[in-house]
Chains A and B, each alone.
Chain A
Amino acid sequence: MKGFEERLARLEELNDKISEGNIPLDEAVGLFEEGIKLAKSLEKDLSKVERRVELLVNQPETPQEEPNLELFPDLSENDQHE
């Protein structure tokens, strides 16, 4: 799926096209259906609540090396005091 910004831009473009009113109705309905799908996917992205916190545990130097990510204890969950 395309990036959020691209999809949002497409959605706004669809809306403009539909609102212009000089395209045939069946085409407008087609655009509308595409728009609704886009809107739903954007809303889904926006309502995402789970998250993953990772820690980079190695120090890769070359393009061949892969960054090694490990789950990081989410500090926000345990109330830490310094």
Chain B
Amino acid sequence: MLQAAPRKFTVSQITTLIKQSLEADFYDITIEGEISNFRPSSTGHLYFTLKDEQAVISAVMFKNRVFGLGFKPADGQKVSVWGNLSVYAKRGAYQIIVERMEKSGEGDILALLEERKRRLAAEGLFEESRKRPLPLLPERVAVVTSPTGAALRDILNVTARRNAGINIVVLPCPVQGEEAGAKIARQIERANSYSLGDVIIVGRGGGSLEDLLPFSEELVVRAIAASRIPVISAVGHEIDTSLSDLAADVRAPTPSAAAEIVSASRADLLARVRDVETTMGREIERRIERVRLLLREFTPVQLERNFRILIQPVLLRLDDAKEELLRALRDRVRDARHRTELAAQNLKAGSPLEVLKRGYAVVTDEESGGVLRDAEETESGKGIRVRLHRGGLGATVKEVTE
């Protein structure tokens, strides 16, 4: 029987083999444990140990992964880490290189919140159409938060710095723990039933996911959605989202931001009022000025001038008419004279004397003096008179012919 080759290695050889074996087998693994000996390095990497009752394992989380971490790790925290096992040959040590870490149970909580969010969204509690506008100038703000917390201090600081003159009513409540949700919800209802403000800020300072949980409780979400008074949610830091944020009319990233929102509009409003005041004043001045100009028209001199301006065209027309009349008259006279001359000429042409001139004669009865036009008007032996162009004849009719 062939004896197995002696398993003899150099340190480097065995370490390389261990490294290959471990790193291949323990790739992309999850480990649950408690953080201990937590040592963040000055370069930003996190060194710590994960332990349970019987064992420990070294862990490192490099700076580029730390960035996405949603919480501050500390000794004693139970966490889940995802990563790869790595052997550090120079020290003969192995450790887990942590790619991702979350607090234990966080995944369960997130799943629960996600389910609750879907359910409440389906009821329409987060609808955009439910959101009410905030009052332009709140006189009193109801703040539902811990009376000793950082959130209240921030809110009071900001409103004081802003000189906003806003009255504040603090409705105290715990902001974390079992009881908190019900108490927060109750204070929101109280603010409504006793009209303790014209806007409500509900919130707290930053904290762990668990710390912020009361603000995602169904009771609180429903109280916010049912609030008659507009609600600003101000839970934790910028990155934290609670279901309160979704139900609130306005989501402020932090309590300080909520305070800014309720005091911010003041300068804008003042500018708006002053603006209206100025345009209104200018408009009235303009109108008065217009009336003044109008009145100026009524001085005697101005009136006379206006009258003259008014009468000018009439005078012109009168002048024109006069001219026209004279001309027409002159034309008529000339015309009449012309016609008269013409008539006189015609008359002359038709005169009996003119006829006599041409050799005709007029015969009249001697007795009656009537002009004879018919031979039967006289008889033989009767005396007649004959008028010639020049002179006349007395004669007796010798015979009458038919």
Question: A residues bordering B, Cβ < 8 Å?
Answer: 3-5, 8, 11-12, 14-15, 18-19, 21, 25, 28-29, 32, 35-36, 39, 42-43, 45-56, 59-60, 63, 66-67, 69, 72, 74-77, 80, 82
User: Binding site of A, secondary structure by majority: helix, strand, loop or mixed?
Assistant: mixed
Residues of B within 8 A of A3 (CB): 135
Given A25-B287, A25-B291, check contact A48 B196 (CB 8 Å). no
Q: Check if A48 sits within 8 Å of B169, measured CB to CB.
A: no
Q: Check if B170 sits within 8 Å of A11, measured CB to CB.
A: no
Residues of B within 8 A of A28 (CB): 283-284, 287
The answer to the question of B328 belonging to the interface, with a C-beta cut-off of 8 Å to chain A, is: no
Q: How far is the CB of B208 from chain A (nearest CB, A)?
A: 16
Residues of A within 8 A of B166 (CB): 51
A42 to B151, CA, bound (A): 30
Q: How far is the CB of B263 from chain A (nearest CB, A)?
A: 10
A74 to B168, CA, bound (A): 10
Q: How far is the CB of A45 from chain B (nearest CB, A)?
A: 7
Q: Check if A52 sits within 8 Å of B279, measured CB to CB.
A: no
Q: Check if B150 sits within 8 Å of A46, measured CB to CB.
A: no
Q: How far is the CB of B201 from chain A (nearest CB, A)?
A: 13
12 A-B pairs whose Cβ atoms sit less than 8 Å apart in the complex: A4-B139, A8-B273, A28-B287, A35-B276, A35-B277, A36-B281, A46-B137, A46-B269, A54-B168, A56-B187, A59-B190, A69-B169
Selected from B165, B170, B193, the residue in CB contact (under 8 A) with A50 is: B165
Residues of A within 8 A of B338 (CB): none
A51 to B118, CA, bound (A): 41
Q: Check if A53 sits within 8 Å of B167, measured CB to CB.
A: yes
Given A8-B272, A54-B169, A59-B190, check contact A67 B279 (CB 8 Å). no
Q: Check if A15 sits within 8 Å of B165, measured CB to CB.
A: no
Given A50-B165, A54-B170, A76-B160, check contact A14 B280 (CB 8 Å). yes
- The size class of the interface chain B forms with chain A is 35 or more
User: Binding site of B, secondary structure by majority: helix, strand, loop or mixed?
Assistant: helix
Q: Which residue of A lies closest to B266 (CB)?
A: A46
A82 to B187, CA, bound (A): 25
A39 to B270, CA, bound (A): 9
Chain B, range 75-116, C-beta contacts under 8 Å to A: none
Residues of A within 8 A of B159 (CB): 51, 76
Q: Besides the contacts A25-B287, A42-B269, A75-B152, what 9 more A-B pairs have beta carbons closer than 8 Å?
A: A8-B273, A11-B273, A39-B273, A42-B273, A54-B169, A54-B170, A56-B196, A67-B190, A72-B147
Q: Check if A18 sits within 8 Å of B284, measured CB to CB.
A: yes
Most buried by A among B161, B170, B291: B170
Q: Which residue of A lies closest to B166 (CB)?
A: A51
Q: Check if A15 sits within 8 Å of B279, measured CB to CB.
A: yes
Q: Check if B273 sits within 8 Å of A43, measured CB to CB.
A: yes
Residues of A within 8 A of B40 (CB): none
Q: How far is the CB of A29 from chain B (nearest CB, A)?
A: 7
Residues of A within 8 A of B67 (CB): none
Q: How far is the CB of A60 from chain B (nearest CB, A)?
A: 7
Q: How far is the CB of B161 from chain A (nearest CB, A)?
A: 8
